[in-house]
């Protein structure tokens, strides 16, 4: 006859050996995934996080999953408290017998730091309880105080970052100055960036106020006026979705570094919203973002510029306009300067836009090679640009790029809200000319609306254009997706700038239905925008230009090219015809 006690010990030992096998598997998986399976050392954590003092919290029921370490036996068990040594078999089995017997187990003793616990006495009881499927255990809790919160997800490698956070808070007292502020990060090195910014802010404040600035004053000012505004943009735009597992402070640090490198490269100051959008587009690990980057590079490599369809209609509004807090559509206006009369006329029109939008100009001159960037003519061009900006009381920044003109303008357009260029060389009518780089390419590839300013060979025409204000706009509307974007912009300009607005629809049974004009009227009426409406039949470009002349319009607004580049290159485009013949600036939307 079997001894029941020996039989129970045998069953408990079998459970122990099964737990040992699971411990082995847990450590194998940890080595494959790079995630540690080790318990945390209480003494190490306490030292790194500068924990101090202790308050007895009495007997509590605590979650087993929140027990992440041990005071002295952190090498004896895995992270899930599976036994790591065969020599523990007898003791482990004895604890299991007690746990399943009538007496049960006494409470354990733990230290609490943040939301996690470290076992002072009772490691085997925790191990057995977890293997028996328990979720909680009774414990005498002593809370140890630290500035840095810990959660059950913390791993040994995270301690380095947590320790840096504790040092950061020790030096800045940010947790005292702004209680509740969470500047946790997941990437080492971020706190050096933050402390450098605080010191720079402190230096600037001392220079501006001509006095010594206390560190606490600089920390609070940095947090309120540098850090927090960027974090608010991160929250509003929901950019963290593009970087799963990261924190707001992670993203803030990346934005700061990315912004600094971009501004050095571009020669322009870049707004946080633009940096965030670029960061998500270029660096997000989300599969759809990665595939978009790969697809874009492949398409760019095999497709001639003149045959690219460019960004989808409405994309600029969805990804650029809607996420922003600004109530202004064109705050940053890129203006391409060539040093010729047409370029200066384009600058004058761009200055009008900047004045109405309370915006700034981003001047750009493109040269053939880097060796031409620092020449005297370029310096003269920059000085003249700054003179025009100062006279108009508009902030302006100037940059020089080397390379193909249309491509460089398109690359820079990403950082602006509007691109202003002169129509000194409008799209040619000849097929071979269309296939080469030029204005056609610029209109197709630009990610932002383009304000094309015509030039005139006769002095009288130039003089008239130089003195003209943008007061009366004409929208050419055919109901297409790009015309919808033009309608959106026209409604904004009519409302914000108080422009007089006309709408013309050219009826074409193959492309434009008569109800298109009614659609535009419904849209504008809903936004309290009054307009005059014209519906005509005939050649599209001819009808639009005639209507513009009849209404004395000084701004044309329309959509860009259609969705088939090859079709338009071979057969011609109404947009090209208007660009060649227009007497007023043309705002091309997409």
- The three-state secondary structure class of 303 is coil
Bridge partners for 586 per DSSP: 452, 556
CA angle 191, 197, 203 (to 5 degrees): 140
For 103-120, how does the pLDDT look when each residue is reduced to its tens digit (9 = 90+)?
Answer: 678 999 999 988 899 999
Spell out the residues 6+ positions from residue 362 whose beta carbon is closer than 8 angstroms to its own.
Answer: 268, 332, 333, 334, 335, 396, 397, 399, 412, 415, 416
Q: For residue 572, name the pLDDT band (cuts at 50, 70, 90).
A: very low
CA distance 225 to 210: 20
* Domain map (residue ranges) of the chain: 4-145, 173-287, 303-589
Q: 273 is written with which tokens?
A: 């919203």
Would you state the pLDDT for residue 508?
73
pLDDT at 156 over 90: no
CA distance 359 to 451: 15
Would you state the pLDDT for residue 430?
44
pLDDT at 471 over 90: yes
Would you state the pLDDT for residue 562?
54
Q: For residue 275, name the pLDDT band (cuts at 50, 70, 90).
A: confident
pLDDT at 308 over 80: no
Residue whose entry in the numeric block shows the structure tokens 């009849």 = 550
pLDDT at 486 over 80: yes
Average pLDDT of the segment spanning 501-506: 93
Tell me the CATH class for 303-589.
alpha beta
Would you state the pLDDT for residue 265?
86
Would you state the pLDDT for residue 53?
75
Give the domain 4-145 fold: 3.90.1530
pLDDT higher for 25 or 153? 25
For 38-62, how does the pLDDT look when each residue is reduced to its tens digit (9 = 90+)?
Answer: 888 888 888 888 777 778 899 999 9
Residue 120 burial (CB count, 10 A): 17
What predicted TM-score, i.e. pTM, was given to this entire model?
A: 0.69
Would you state the pLDDT for residue 31?
72
The residue among 417, 446, 415 whose CA lies nearest residue 275 is: 415
CA distance 21 to 131: 13
CA distance 180 to 175: 7
For 312-321, how does the pLDDT look when each residue is reduced to its tens digit (9 = 90+)?
Answer: 777 777 777 7
Return the sign of the alpha-carbon dihedral for residues 300, 302, 304, 307.
Answer: negative
Bridge partners for 137 per DSSP: 62
For 62-107, how does the pLDDT look when each residue is reduced to its tens digit (9 = 90+)?
Answer: 999 999 999 988 889 998 999 988 888 889 998 998 888 766 789 9
Average pLDDT of the segment spanning 375-389: 94
């Amino acid at each position: 006859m079997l001894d029941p006690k020996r039989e129970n010990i045998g069953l408990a030992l079998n459970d122990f050996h099964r737990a040992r096998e699971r411990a082995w598997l847990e450590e194998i998986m940890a080595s494959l995934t790079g995630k540690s399976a080790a318990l945390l050392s209480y003494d190490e954590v306490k030292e790194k996080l500068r924990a101090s003092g202790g308050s007895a919290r009495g007997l509590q029921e605590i979650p087993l999953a929140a027990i992440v370490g041990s005071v002295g036996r952190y090498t004896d068990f895995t992270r899930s408290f599976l036994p790591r040594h065969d020599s523990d078999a007898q003791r482990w089995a004895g604890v299991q017998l007690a746990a399943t017997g009538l007496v049960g187990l006494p409470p354990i003793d733990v230290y609490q730091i943040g939301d996690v616990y470290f076992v002072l006495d009772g490691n085997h009881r925790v191990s057995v309880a977890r293997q028996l499927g328990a979720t909680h255990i009774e414990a005498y809790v002593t809370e140890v105080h630290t500035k840095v919160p810990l959660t059950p997800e913390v791993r040994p490698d995270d301690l380095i970052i947590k320790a840096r956070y504790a040092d950061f808070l020790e030096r800045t007292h940010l947790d005292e100055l702004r209680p509740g502020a969470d500047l946790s990060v997941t990437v080492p090195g971020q706190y050096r960036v933050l402390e450098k910014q605080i010191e720079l802010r402190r230096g600037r404040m001392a220079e501006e106020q001509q006095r010594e600035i206390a560190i606490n004053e600089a920390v609070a000012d940095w947090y309120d006026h540098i850090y927090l505004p960027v974090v608010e943009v991160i929250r509003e735009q929901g950019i963290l979705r593009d970087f799963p597992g990261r924190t707001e402070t992670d993203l803030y640090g990346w934005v700061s570094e990315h912004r600094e490198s971009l501004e050095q490269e571009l020669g322009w100051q870049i707004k946080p919203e633009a940096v965030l959008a670029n960061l998500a587009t270029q660096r997000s690990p989300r599969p759809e973002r990665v595939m978009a980057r790969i697809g874009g590079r492949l398409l760019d490599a095999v497709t001639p510029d003149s045959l690219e369809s460019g960004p989808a209609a409405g994309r600029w509004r969805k990804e650029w306009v809607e996420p922003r807090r600004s109530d202004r559509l064109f705050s940053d206006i890129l203006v391409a300067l060539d040093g010729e009369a047409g370029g200066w006329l384009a600058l004058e029109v761009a200055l009008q836009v900047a004045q109405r939008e309370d915006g700034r100009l981003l001047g750009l001159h493109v040269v053939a090679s880097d060796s031409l960037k620092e020449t005297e003519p370029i310096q003269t061009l920059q000085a003249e640009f700054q003179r025009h900006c100062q006279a108009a009381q508009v902030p302006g920044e100037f940059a020089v790029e080397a390379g193909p003109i249309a491509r460089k303008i398109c690359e820079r357009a990403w950082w602006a809200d509007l691109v202003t260029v002169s129509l000194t060389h409008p799209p040619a009518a000849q097929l071979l000319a269309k296939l080469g780089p030029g204005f056609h390419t610029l209109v197709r590839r630009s990610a932002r609306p383009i304000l094309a300013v015509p030039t005139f060979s006769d002095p009288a025409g130039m003089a008239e254009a130089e003195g003209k204000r943008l007061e009366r706009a004409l929208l050419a509307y055919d109901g297409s997706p790009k015309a919808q974007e033009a309608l959106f912009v026209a409604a904004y300009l009519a409302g914000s700038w108080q422009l007089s607005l006309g709408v013309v629809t050219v009826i074409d049974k193959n492309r434009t239905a008569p109800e298109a004009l009614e659609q535009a009227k419904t849209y504008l009426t809903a936004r309290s925008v009054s307009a005059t409406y014209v519906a005509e039949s005939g050649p599209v470009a001819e009808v639009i230009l005639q209507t513009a002349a009849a209404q004395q319009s000084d701004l044309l607004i329309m959509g860009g090219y259609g969705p088939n580049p090859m079709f338009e290159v071979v057969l011609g485009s109404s947009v090209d015809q208007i660009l060649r013949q227009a007497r007023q600036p043309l705002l091309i939307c997409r």
